[in-house]
């Protein structure tokens, strides 16, 4: 199974996100330290979930890192996270 799909499956199970975007940024890091020749080693992820209500940014990211722990140890070198509540996401959309 592809790494991006594994990330999607885990985050969907753990956070029941209202929005989930996973972008494979690995091609931007080819040849750099930590780049995996197989690809799928660097990702940008947006997770919008009610489970983040009442949590600060650091705690939200910890929750995601905990959920993805094994992938981060074995396969993913870099993960850029944006974690939002549904209300924060809706507000961000109206500001655009």
- The string of pLDDT tens digits covering residues 8-50 is 999 999 999 999 999 988 766 455 555 555 556 789 999 999 9
Query: Rounded to two decimals, what is the model's pTM?
Result: 0.84
Domain count, the chain: 1
Short-list 64, 58, 74, CA closest to 22: 64
Residue 69, domain extent: 3-95
From CA 47, how far away is CA 29, in angstroms rounded?
A: 23
- Per the listing, tokens 């080819």 go with 30
At residue 91 the predicted structure's pLDDT band, cuts being 50, 70 and 90, is very high
Q: What's the whole-number average pLDDT of the chain?
A: 88
CATH number of the structural domain spanning residue 51: 3.30.300.90
pLDDT tens for 46-73 read 999 999 999 999 999 999 999 999 998 8
């Amino acid at each position: 199974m592809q790494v991006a799909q594994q990330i999607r499956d885990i985050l969907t199970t753990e956070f029941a996100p209202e929005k989930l975007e996973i972008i494979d940024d690995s091609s931007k890091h080819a040849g750099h330290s930590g780049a995996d020749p197989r690809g799928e080693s660097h990702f940008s992820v947006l997770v919008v979930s009610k489970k983040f209500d009442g949590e600060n940014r650091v705690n939200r990211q910890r929750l995601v890192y905990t959920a993805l722990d094994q992938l981060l140890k074995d396969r993913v070198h870099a993960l850029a996270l944006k974690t939002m509540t549904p209300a924060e996401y809706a507000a961000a959309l109206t500001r655009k």
